[in-house]
């Protein structure tokens, strides 16, 4: 456990990629196969099922520490992280136990089947045999909130360096429902180059980079192929061994959640893998993503929901054909083969993402501005000769999204962040005006620099009003420009609206609260989003991404 804790600390103490990769490589080279398997499991974002309710853990910690409820609450409020708070308030360990990471994971797994009394015994014994830092990391694993500042790609680079295996090969072997064990880890890092792809495992996804500058800088237009960027669930449809599976980019098997795709088993040839988008689709047009969420969040799929929110698989790449990996073929070849395949299948739930053609970059930019009216987020540009690379490879695919909607809103509440920002107020609630009152519109926590975060945190502490659990209302004075990708009506929000992917663009120090936007202005954006004419790139009241200043 101490090795894993030391790795966690090392990764948290630096922002340098090379230092993180070296720390990962050292750990994997020294750890046992079983410990390395579990470390890889947690570092790549996987987590164990929550075995003990948070409220119960909190109660046990309060009793073990000999604190009152209110004093523990104050400590938690100051620290901002439950795992860390528990680790800090508990007494020093009575007897230290230097168990392996795998052994401590076994204790967590035992909790999942134990009665409450046995659960308490296991947890308190663990707390009293681990020092403060080890206890903190174990709490993170126990509560399912283990996060550290490394991407899966970075973790695989460290693992590749330790075992001298290509990171891309590791990424492929890790795809799907990989389960940690010593045997699985040895198979993962085996130098044998042969592909041991079992049954329905998907491939690593190829990801697009955001295009920030002028698209014309990419060179000749005829070297690129354009498609709409859809707002759905990125997925791979895998057809092998007379079976089929649908995998999300997060490596979740979605097959049972979308039964209307079952007819594809009989239509798609064996040994086929398609990359595409799962979209809610009705009357030959995409529905808003929020309608798809109504299906994702349901435990049982009724006939009513299947009728109201039907889905299609919109394919845009062919990455396995006839059981052969074709990712190294040029995109133009894969696209042509994909079109032939979709035509031969002739199933309504399987469609192809249409190509977007234009005579010039300028004409393509005009088409891009009509994206929202078509239910898309913009365009994806793919080099005609590009291979299907694993991960985000610069220069292969570009996502050229439409400019976001933006609004000036007032900061009205805040709460502390988590992890490294647990002691700072970084999670903000923003409001807009409605009939002389400020109404909450969105919550956002990204977009400010570290220096701006510290300044806002200091201001919040001086201007607090009321306390609602971890949330603090503040004097309505600071104005920020927010960006978001879309707007939908919502009965769950006081404003009657829900915005998608809100983030902070800038701190509007030049504006006072009374100059912030109104709810009517945001409703006008919704109206423009809903009723825009695809043939028109601008309107009389809308400029791309924002209403004109009042």
Dist. CA 349–CA 72, nearest whole Å? 54
Q: How far is C-alpha 380 from the chain's CA centre?
A: 19
Q: What is the arithmetic mean of pLDDT over 214-240?
A: 93
Distance CA 282, CA 308 (A): 8
Cα–Cα distance between 126 and 140 in angstroms, integer? 13
With 0-12 / 13-18 / 19 or more C-beta atoms within 10 angstroms meaning exposed / middle / buried, residue 232 is buried
Report the pLDDT averaged over residues 212-217: 89
The C-alpha atoms of residue 506 and residue 503 are separated, in whole angstroms, by 9
330: which DSSP letter?
A: -
- What's the confidence (pLDDT) of residue 147? 80
Is-contact 268 242, C-beta < 8 A? no
3-state SS, residue 90: coil
Q: Could you tell me where in the chain the CATH 3.30.470.30 domains are found?
A: 206-401
Kindly state the DSSP code that residue 297 receives in the 8-state scheme.
T
Question: For residue 549, what pLDDT is reported?
Answer: 29
Domain 2-143: give its CATH code. Answer: 1.10.3260.10
pTM to 2 decimals? 0.69
Q: Are 51 and 188 in contact (CB under 8 A)?
A: no
Which two tokens mark 396? 């292969």
Neighbours of 524 (CB within 10 A): 14
229 an active-site residue?
A: yes
Q: Which of 182-196, 344-358, 453-467, 468-482 has the lowest mean pLDDT?
A: 182-196
Distance CA 379, CA 402 (A): 8
The phi-psi region of residue 286 (left if phi > 0; otherwise alpha if psi is between -120 and 50; otherwise beta) is beta
Average confidence (pLDDT) over 19-46? 93
Give the single-character DSSP code of 420. Answer: G
Place of tokens 């460290």: 158
**Stretch(es) of the chain classified as CATH 2.40.50.140:** 405-547
**pLDDT: is 343 or 498 the higher one?**
343
Are 335 and 225 within 8 A, CB to CB? yes
Does the pLDDT value for residue 531 go beyond 70? Answer: no
- The pLDDT tens digits for 364-381 are 999 998 888 888 889 999
SS3 148: coil
Those residues with Cβ within 8 angstroms of residue 252's Cβ, 6 or more apart along the chain or in another chain: none
User: Which of 223, 329, 308, 215 has its CA nearest to residue 260?
Assistant: 308
pLDDT score at 530? 59
**At 227, is the pLDDT very low, low, confident or very high (cuts 50, 70, 90)?**
very high
Average pLDDT estimate for 251-260: 86
Specify the range with the lowest mean pLDDT, choosing from 48-57, 491-500, 539-548.
Answer: 539-548
Burial class (CB within 10 angstroms; exposed 0-12, middle 13-18, buried 19+) of 10: middle
Q: Among the options 229, 299, 382, 511, which is catalytic?
A: 229
Structural contact between residues 474 and 460, judged by C-beta atoms closer than 8 angstroms: yes
CA distances from 550 to 7, 305, 523, 537 (A): 53, 41, 14, 21
Residue 170 has a pLDDT of: 86
Q: What is the pLDDT of residues 343-360, one digit of tens each?
A: 999 899 999 999 999 999
Query: How sure is the predictor about 538, in pLDDT bands with cuts at 50, 70 and 90?
Result: very low
- 479: part of which helix (H) or strand (E)? strand 479-484
Burial category of 380 from C-beta neighbours within 10 Å (exposed 0-12, middle 13-18, buried 19 and up)? buried
Tell me: domain 405-547, CATH 2.40.50.140, correct?
yes
Q: What is the mean pLDDT of residues 426-447?
A: 93
In the predicted model, what is the mean pLDDT of residues 198-217? 87
Residue-wise pLDDT for 274-292, tens only, equals 999 999 998 888 888 878 8
Angle at which helix 54-65 crosses helix 82-89, to 10 degrees, equals 20
C-alpha span between 44 and 190 (Å, rounded)? 19
Question: Binning pLDDT at 50, 70 and 90, where does residue 195 land?
Answer: low
- The Cα–Cα gap between 363 and 521 comes to 30
Which residues is 93 bridged to in the sheet?
A: none
CATH topology of domain 206-401: D-amino Acid Aminotransferase; Chain A, domain 1 (3.30.470)
User: Is 401's pLDDT higher than 60?
Assistant: yes
| pLDDT tens per residue, range 98-157 | 889 999 999 999 998 899 999 999 999 999 899 899 999 999 999 887 888 888 889 999
| Confidence (pLDDT) at 529 | 67
User: What is the reported pLDDT for 537?
Assistant: 34
Using the predicted structure, report yes or no on whether residue 331 has a pLDDT greater than 70: yes
The residue to which tokens 């291979």 are assigned: 387
Q: Where in the chain is the domain with CATH 1.10.3260.10?
A: 2-143
Say if residue 31's pLDDT is above 50: yes
| CA pair distance 248, 256, nearest whole angstrom | 12
- Retrieve residue 114's tokens: 């134990």
Torsion of CA 357, 363, 365, 366, to 10 degrees: -110
């Amino acid at each position: 456990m101490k090795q894993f804790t030391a790795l966690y600390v090392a990764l948290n103490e630096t922002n340098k990629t090379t230092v993180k990769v070296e720390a990962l490589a050292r750990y994997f080279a020294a750890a046992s196969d079983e410990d390395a398997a579990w470390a890889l499991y947690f570092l790549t974002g996987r987590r164990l099922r929550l075995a003990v309710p948070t409220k119960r853990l909190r109660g046990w910690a309060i009793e073990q520490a000999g604190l009152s409820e209110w004093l523990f609450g104050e400590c938690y409020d100051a620290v901002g992280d439950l795992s860390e708070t528990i680790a800090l308030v508990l007494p020093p360990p009575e007897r230290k136990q230097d168990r392996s990471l795998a052994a401590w994971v076994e204790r967590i797994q035992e909790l999942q089947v134990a009665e409450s009394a046995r659960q308490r015994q296991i947890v308190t014994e663990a707390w009293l045999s681990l020092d403060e830092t080890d206890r903190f990391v174990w709490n993170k694993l126990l509560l399912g909130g283990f996060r550290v500042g490394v991407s899966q790609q970075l973790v695989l680079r460290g693992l590749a360096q330790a075992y001298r295996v290509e990171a891309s090969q590791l990424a492929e072997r890790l795809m799907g429902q990989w389960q940690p064990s010593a045997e699985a880890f040895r198979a993962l890092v085996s130098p044998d180059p042969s592909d041991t792809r079992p049954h329905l495992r998907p491939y690593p996804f190829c990801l697009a980079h955001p295009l920030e500058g002028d698209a014309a800088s990419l060179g000749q237009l005829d070297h690129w192929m354009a498609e709409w960027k859809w707002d759905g669930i990125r997925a791979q449809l895998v057809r092998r061994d007379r079976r089929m599976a649908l995998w999300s980019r997060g490596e979740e098997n979605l097959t049972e959640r979308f039964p209307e795709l079952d007819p594809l088993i009989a239509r798609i040839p064996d040994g086929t893998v398609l990359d595409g988008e799962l979209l809610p689709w009705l009357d030959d047009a995409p529905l808003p993503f929020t309608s798809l969420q109504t299906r994702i969040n349901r435990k049982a799929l009724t006939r009513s929901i299947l009728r109201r929110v039907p889905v299609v698989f919109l394919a845009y790449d062919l990455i396995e054909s006839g059981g052969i990996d074709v990712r190294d073929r040029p995109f133009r070849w894969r696209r042509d083969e994909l079109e032939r395949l979709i035509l031969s299948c002739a199933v309504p739930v399987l469609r192809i993402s249409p190509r977007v053609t234009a005579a010039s970059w300028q004409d393509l930019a005009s088409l891009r501005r009509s994206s929202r009216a078509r239910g898309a987020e913009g365009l994806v540009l793919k080099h005609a000769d590009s291979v299907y690379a694993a991960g985000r490879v610069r220069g292969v695919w570009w996502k050229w999204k439409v400019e976001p909607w933006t609004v000036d809103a007032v900061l009205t509440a805040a709460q502390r962040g988590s992890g490294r920002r647990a002691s700072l107020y970084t999670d903000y609630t923003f409001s807009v005006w409605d009939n002389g009152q400020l109404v909450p519109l969105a919550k956002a926590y990204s977009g400010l620099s570290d220096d701006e975060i510290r300044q806002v945190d200091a201001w919040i502490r001086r201007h607090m009003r009321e306390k609602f659990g971890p949330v603090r209302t503040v004097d309505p004075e600071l104005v920020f420009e927010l960006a978001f990708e879309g707007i939908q009506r919502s009965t769950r929000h006081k404003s009657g609206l829900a915005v998608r992917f809100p983030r902070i663009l800038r701190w509007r120090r030049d504006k006072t609260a009374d100059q912030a936007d109104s709810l009517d202005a945001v409703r006008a954006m919704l109206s423009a989003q809903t009723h825009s004419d695809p043939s028109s790139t601008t309107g009389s009241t809308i400029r791309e991404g924002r209403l004109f200043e009042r």
